[in-house]
Structure 1
Amino acid sequence: MTAQPETPRPVGEDDRDAAVRRLREAYAQGHVSHEELDERLDQVLAATTHGEIARAVASLPLPPEEDAGRTATIGAASGRIQRRGAWKVPRTLRVESAFGRVRLDLSRAVFEHPVVDIELRLGTGRAVITVPRDAIVDVEDLRTVWKDLRYRPRTRSGPDGPTVRISGAMGMGRLTIRHARR
């Protein structure tokens, strides 16, 4: 079973209202400045696709009721952690391993959320993450101790591809991120 790419559907008023409420809540809690609030509100009000709205609210914390049940943890003391094929990617995925290899293939995975956070807590061993061809990858919050990250961003990512934010820490191992070829 292959996951078909989702066609962009028009943004409804309910989607737009939810994004505006989320922005106002983030402003009230001090997560965004007044200028940033104005800029993001303009983006939400001008958005024509869900991807555009998702980018406007991507860095904001989720309200507690939306975050419940969207976090999964995969852990192993040693050995191999592997996910591939058509699996559902949760909103937040925590991967914890003291020793061993990690391989996450998101190329055929089912994304229910436009933004996915992957938090790595890896001791030693190698990790390989394959993202969809049109994914946008953010690795700014990832710390590597021993070896540098191997990732070459695509020059052209699709406007409605998922955003994969990778954070956490890698001990004595290397993380390789690559885009799927098809």
Structure 2
Amino acid sequence: MSVTLEDRPIEQVREQVIDKLIVNYSHGIISAEAFERRLDDAMASESHQELLDLVADLSISTDDEYSSKKDQQFTPNYASKQAEDTLIISCILGNNERSGQWVVPSEIKLNNVLGETTLDFTDAIFQHQDITIKLNCILGSCKIFIPENINVICKTYCAGSSIENCAPSMANRQAPVITIEGKVVLGSLSISVKRTVKEKFIAFANQLKNAFN
């Protein structure tokens, strides 16, 4: 006997509906405008039936190839290769940015004095589940970008400074955890998501559409 619709976890239903929207858009069944409109509705709805109604007229379903591509796109990048256990970044009266595909060590020591530092974990490759950033920011600016499927814990001391943490802290238990420790004196620290889940869904759908075309 199958489980009644209302008794199914709504996030599971939402994920299946979004998957079906993506695969039908990528095959040209619905327009870009319709895809984004229905995607917004799917992400906002808390009704099982409303979610299913969004894809009731769509015939193409997901397959193993789609699931594999989705896992590659949305699962945090892990690698077995080993980098140095500690990365030391010093920025004095200058700019320093670490972005793109880079291997994240278990510990990052970041010293920023009168400088501007950016750590972008959006496309980073993780080899540890627990990462610690030891921050010493004096009269400087530090920006940290993270993907939405990463947990962030901020334990930073602030003196005459601004700290803005817009990152989630309730991602999957198996997701990497970034803990930020240290101090910010007469400076600023911002932690935010560079690309939202909606933006990643749209980018992934367009990537599949281009592949089919």
Deviation of the 1:152 alpha carbon:
2.8
Aligned to 1:171: 185
2:131 to 106, 111, 116: 116
Structure 2 counterpart of 1:147, one-letter code: S
Cα distance change on mapping 1:172 and 1:161 into 2, 3 Å: same
Scaled by the length of structure 2, what TM-score is found?
A: 0.51
Q: CA deviation at 1:91?
A: 0.5
For structure 2, the residue ranges without an aligned partner over 5 or more in a row are: 1-71, 201-213
Cα distance in structure 1, aligned partners of 2:160 and 2:154: 16
| Paired letter, 1:127 | C
Kept after mapping to 1: 8 A contact 2:91/2:116: no
Of 123-132 and 108-117, deviating more is 123-132
Kindly, what percent of the aligned residue pairs are identical?
A: 23
Number of the residue aligned with 2:157: 143
TM-score (norm 1): 0.59
Supply the distance in 2 between the matched residues of 1:7 and 1:165 (Cα, whole angstroms): 18
Q: Alpha-carbon deviation of 1:179?
A: 2.2
Asked if residue 74 in structure 1 is aligned to residue 94 in structure 2, the reply is no
Runs of 4+ that moved beyond 3 A = none
> d(CA) in 1 for partners of 2:167 and 2:126?
20
CA distance in 2, matches of 1:71, 1:7: 19
Give 1:69 deviation, angstroms. 4.2
Cα distance between partner residues in 2 of 1:83 and 1:7: 16
RMSD: 2.4
Q: Which amino acid aligns with 2:101?
A: A
What is the aligned partner in structure 2 of residue 83 from structure 1? 98
Aligned partners of 1:155, 1:112: CA distance in 2, in Å?
19
Question: Shift of the alpha carbon at 1:6?
Answer: 5.2
Which whole-Å CA distance do the structure 2 matches of 1:162 and 1:113 have between them? 7
Which has more helix, going by share of residues?
Answer: 2
Check if 1:129 corresponds to 2:152: no
Q: Is 2:120 aligned against 1:105?
A: yes
TM superposition shift of 1:7 = 9.2
Instruction: State the structure with more CA Rg.
Output: 2
Structure 1: any 5+ residue segments left out of the alignment? 9-67
State the one-letter code of the partner of 2:160. Answer: W
Q: Secondary structure at the match of 1:149?
A: strand
Query: For 1:161, what is the secondary structure of its paired residue?
Result: coil
CA deviation vs aligned residue, 1:64-91 (integer Å, no higher than 9, x gap):
xxxx940110112220110110011110
Write the mapping of 1:151-166 to structure 2, written as runs, cut at 5 A.
Answer: 151-154=165-168, 156-166=170-180
